Amino acid sequence: GAVVSQHPSWVICKSGTSVKIECRSLDFQATTMFWYRQFPKQSLMLMATSNEGSKATYEQGVEKDKFLINHASLTLSTLTVTSAHPEDSSFYICSVTRTVFTEAFFGQGTRLTVV
Amino acid sequence: QKEVEQNSGPLSVPEGAIASLNCTYSDRGSQSFFWYRQYSGKSPELIMSIYSNGDKEDGRFTAQLNKASQYVSLLIRDSQPSDSATYLCAVTFSGGYNKLIFGAGTRLAVHP
């Protein structure tokens, strides 16, 4: 399977600060990456689709000004949680796919705790 | 609204038994179907993919797809305690962007 590296694996930040999470596709170029969020005992919820060289596409209910996505290269997408609050504490996971309609490969995930 | 439905469980089976996990989806245009396993605190890992009607077997795992009934299942034969995890059904919906939508997951517990 594809190797997807996500960093950091966990982060604790103070309320009101911003946190950046990186997702790297290590063995192929990914024009599209996906960002998910998972709360305890819940399923993965798609937040947004990150498109290389263009704006991300956000799912309904996801604040684009709060969750900033940048896909500046074919191997790197970043998610920045701005002005984080305790309710943003969650498990954030990125994924990539090789081609349309094929399986997604996931990064290791980032556990964000906002205190 | 595009949905993927699973029984949340927990599904408890004895070691060596067959575990049967089920999933239904709402979008008739869906083309790709996946089963992922997720251990607590970890990201999902792919178990099976299936794209056409019928059965697909890989080791102890068999995925079954029935597009007419909008139904996908996963059978785990000779269940082991190490199979205890949450199993997520995922469907790629039509409409572009190759979006993968997940069900809520079924928690499987295999007891010795």
Pairing of strands A110-114, A10-13: parallel
CB B60 within 8 A of CB B76: yes
Q: Identify the closest residue of chain B to A32 by CA–CA distance.
A: B97
Collapsing DSSP to helix, strand or coil, B77 comes out as: coil
Alpha-carbon torsion angle A23, A108, A30, B29, nearest 10: -130
CB B87 within 8 A of CB B21: yes
Among B49, B88, B98, the residue with its CB nearest the CB of A43 is B88
C-beta atoms of B34 and A111 within 8 A = no
Q: What is the pLDDT of residues A35-48, one digit of tens each?
A: 999 998 888 999 99
Among A93, A101, A105, the residue with its CB nearest the CB of B92 is A101
Between A101 and A11, name the one with better pLDDT: A11
| pLDDT of residue B111 exceeding 80 | yes
Q: What is the pLDDT of residues B56-85, one digit of tens each?
A: 999 999 999 999 999 999 999 999 999 999
Cα–Cα distance measured from residue B25 to residue B18, given in angstroms and rounded to the nearest whole number = 23
- Residue in A43, A52, A57, A93 to test binding to B, most B beta-carbons within 10 Å: A43
What pLDDT band is residue A27 in, cutting at 50, 70 and 90?
A: confident
What pLDDT band is residue B31 in, cutting at 50, 70 and 90?
A: confident
